[in-house]
Structure 1
């Protein structure tokens, strides 16, 4: 099994200053905060990183800052996906992936391909990609679910498709994947609220949003889950349950950025069409952060 992606990966935010330029100092701080507190790997330029609002140059700058701060300490995964297969392949071919351990590629959004279309899309990506590929199924955002049969077919047919970040918020679908997957294929939770249950059922871990704000507790919870220590792990899950709900109440990543603002790690600025968390939500988040022990 590919141990690089066992445990807790975090979908890093892209911190912005008030003028909405990238705050590279805050990004460095967040990377160090995570690595020093037990995060196992970093996911760069995913949806939580507001990658769709970053220019090509900004993406390169974000990758450079994170790579420098990480300095080879933990594996790195780069988000490269979209609904134009040819464009995704072009991005793979023109991006320096030499220090990336994998790409995370989201299912095509908006266009709603059939299961065969999804298979052919990821087949083309696999064949073009020089590093490992982690599939990303998030039907709530793409409006099309990748059925377990399609994921398993891809897992069996392509050696460099090593795992799936499954974020359908569907327990039955997780269990189907865990039952049918090849032995060394990783089922990674993309749902913070379900992550522990998935790990206890045989999942490889999580790519988390909240984990980057509470890396010590969250990565410890997943570690205990991987060891089958359900009772100890659930005691941490219950401590974090409310904040997991809060950060997804309005939009992601406005929620997690409000947590970071409360922690003093970055501002809560987001780029349109997203807007910062409401005052009401921010006060709930601040209260949680202040009381968290």
Structure 2
């Protein structure tokens, strides 16, 4: 089992300057903040990174910078996904994955493939990938749900080691946990359901909010994995308000404002995303100050 992916991974946001350029000082600050907060691994160029608005050159530069700042302190997972299978295969050839430990690849969006189409898409990635592959199911963004049956079918492939499951349907999560192969990882992609998933036999989380509260969030998941559920749920109940606030007006606008209030980096986002409203800003500030 890829035990380095048990626990808390964080889907890093991409800090920007006021002119929309990448704020590399902010990237450094965020990476160090997460490492010092004792998360288990970092996810680069996921959805939270606003990766769909980054150019190829920006992606390469961001990857290089994060690798340098991390300096082998934590395992790294890279997001490589999209809705053009052949383009993903080309991208996997172009990206230097030597410093990464796994690939995270999302279900194709917009095309709305059938379950067989999803299977064949991931089989092509499995056959071409030089690293272990994590599936990523997030129907709220892609418009298509990868069923538990398709996930379990894909779990039989050699290179596919687990799934980041953000379906929002806990019954589907339970079906996967119940019938998965022994070493197949079930990682929550839903911050609010991460601890219940761990309690049911899951392996952890790839979190958005975890980068804003790395110490408490990662401790919560570690307690859950060790069976100390009472202590773990006490932390979850403390975090519940900000789990709502972080997604109330979309991701990553919410978590970027959390990071701004905490002094980690600024909260600029790229259109079509916009900063959080004054009312949500007030709630986030009040929560953090309390």
Aligned to 2:284: 285
- Asked if residue 8 in structure 1 is aligned to residue 15 in structure 2, the reply is no
Aligned to 1:102: 102
Aligned partners of 2:95 and 2:64: how far apart in 1?
A: 12
Aligned partners of 2:287 and 2:265: how far apart in 1?
A: 17
Aligned to 1:275: 274
Aligned partners of 1:47 and 1:221: how far apart in 2?
A: 23
- Asked if residue 180 in structure 1 is aligned to residue 179 in structure 2, the reply is yes
Aligned to 1:118: 118
Aligned to 1:70: 70
1:32-181 to structure 2, matched below 5 A, reads: 32-156=32-156, 158-181=157-180
Aligned partners of 2:35 and 2:162: how far apart in 1?
A: 22
1:172-251 to structure 2, matched below 5 A, reads: 172-251=171-250
Structure 1 segments unaligned to the other structure (5+ residues): none
Aligned partners of 1:159 and 1:41: how far apart in 2?
A: 22
Aligned partners of 1:260 and 1:271: how far apart in 2?
A: 16
Aligned partners of 2:40 and 2:65: how far apart in 1?
A: 18
Aligned partners of 1:168 and 1:34: how far apart in 2?
A: 26
Q: Output the TM-score relative to the length of structure 2.
A: 0.99
Secondary structure of 2:205 counterpart: strand
Q: Output the TM-score relative to the length of structure 1.
A: 0.98
User: How many residue pairs are counted as aligned between the two chains?
Assistant: 290
Aligned partners of 1:162 and 1:235: how far apart in 2?
A: 31
Structure 2 segments unaligned to the other structure (5+ residues): none
Distance apart, 1:265 and its partner CA: 1.0
Aligned partners of 2:16 and 2:284: how far apart in 1?
A: 19
Distance apart, 1:88 and its partner CA: 0.6
Distance apart, 1:289 and its partner CA: 1.0
Distance apart, 1:144 and its partner CA: 0.4
Distance apart, 1:120 and its partner CA: 0.1
Contact (CA 8 Å) 2:33, 2:264: kept in 1 or not? no
Aligned partners of 2:65 and 2:95: how far apart in 1?
A: 16
Per-residue deviation, residues 37-85 of structure 1 (Å, max 9, x unmatched):
1110000011100000000010011111111111101110000000000
User: RMSD value over aligned CA atoms?
Assistant: 0.6
Distance apart, 1:290 and its partner CA: 1.0
Aligned to 2:17: 17
Distance apart, 1:245 and its partner CA: 0.3
Distance apart, 1:149 and its partner CA: 0.7
Distance apart, 1:2 and its partner CA: 1.2
